[in-house]
């Protein structure tokens, strides 16, 4: 699997990223987690995606336990994590609602906690997880600059940001934002129409694509949209010789000219191997638009 440069002055990622959102649901021992990670490295997937809140603040620690068994693996991977979401959990009874916090104090605490849980000294890419309407761009920029100077964070980026908020934060930073992680799948690709992907392409920044399989709705959803999309994906699967419709979906996402880097969320190595094969498949423009038409429920204008 090839490496891709995410942005000018940005990091290199593997062409696919392994996501650990559901790591706490996979019921793996620490040794099994380490084996799973090493299998990815052997396949060429060296970039991993985390967030402080995943698994109710547990997934980073589970990953860190695996790294502690063989610390040499750290130098073979790129670790992404995110911050700014405050979750209500049993351990935090005074927190009344989930909310966002991009204050300097919160970001610094989140980074220190992530470093500790992951058993690492530096985060390769730190993302602001969700757009905080109360974000003070100068404060966030000052915090990012401090973390980079301290050697705790190598690169910074955002997730689920609009183009205007991306530009606002970038205008205050000493170094460039290297990605915007956004939802892209055949049931929801608003970012292809609202200027988000255009903005990234204009700046030669590759997006990361989360929920490429729409949380499973494409496979089992009962909405008219999901049924239409599933049917056309099955047709295209036969036409291009794919093994499954998830391969068609990854190929559909990869055809976007902003060159999104898909995140895989499965804990089964067979699904990972299937996703890798998808990156060698190619859709025609007509096939791509057939999925667009069935998702929208009408033809192109």
Which residue numbers are catalytic? 54
Question: What are the tokens at 301?
Answer: 């204008």
Angle CA 162–168–172, to nearest 5: 145
Distance CA 47, CA 61 (A): 17
Structural element, H or E, at residue 121: none
Angstrom CA distances, 77 to 40, 153, 164, 226, 265, stand at 10, 15, 32, 35, 17
- For residue 256, give the DSSP letter: S
12-14 and 17-19 as β-strands: parallel, antiparallel, unpaired? unpaired
Angstrom CA distances, 206 to 8, 55, 203, 279, stand at 10, 27, 9, 16
Beta-sheet strands, E only, within the chain: 3-5, 12-14, 17-19, 47-49, 78-83, 85-86, 99-100, 123-128, 153-159, 177-183, 208-210, 261-264
Q: 25 — phi, psi (to 5°)?
A: -90, -10
Nearest CA among 25, 41, 131, 135 for reference residue 79: 41
């Amino acid at each position: 699997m090839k490496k891709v440069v995410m942005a000018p002055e940005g990091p290199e990622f593997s062409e696919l990223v392994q996501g650990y959102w559901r790591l706490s649901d996979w019921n793996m021992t620490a040794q099994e987690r380490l084996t799973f990670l090493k299998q990815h490295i052997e396949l060429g997937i060296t970039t991993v995606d985390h967030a402080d809140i995943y698994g109710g603040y547990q997934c980073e620690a589970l990953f860190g336990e695996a790294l502690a068994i063989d610390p040499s693996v750290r130098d073979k991977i790129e670790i992404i994590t995110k911050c700014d979401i405050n979750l209500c959990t049993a351990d935090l009874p005074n927190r009344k609602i989930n909310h966002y916090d991009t204050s300097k104090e919160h970001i610094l605490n989140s980074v220190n906690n992530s470093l500790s849980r992951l058993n690492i000294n530096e985060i390769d890419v730190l993302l602001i997880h969700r757009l905080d309407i109360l974000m003070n761009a100068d404060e966030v920029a000052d915090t990012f600059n401090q973390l980079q100077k301290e050697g705790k964070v190598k690169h910074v980026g955002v997730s689920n940001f609009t183009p205007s908020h991306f530009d606002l934060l970038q205008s205050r930073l000493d170094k460039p934002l290297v990605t915007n992680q956004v939802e892209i799948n055949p049931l929801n690709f608003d970012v292809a129409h609202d200027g988000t992907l255009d903005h990234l392409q204009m700046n030669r920044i590759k997006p990361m694509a989360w929920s490429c399989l729409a949380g499973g709705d494409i496979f089992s959803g009962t909405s008219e949209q999901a049924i239409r999309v599933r049917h056309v994906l099955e047709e295209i699967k036969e036409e291009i010789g794919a093994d499954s419709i998830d391969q068609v979906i990854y190929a559909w996402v990869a055809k976007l000219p902003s060159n999104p880097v898909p995140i895989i969320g499965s804990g089964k190595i067979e699904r990972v191997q299937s996703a890798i094969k998808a990156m060698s498949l190619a859709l025609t423009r007509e096939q791509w638009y057939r999925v667009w038409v069935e998702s929208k429920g009408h033809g192109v204008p």
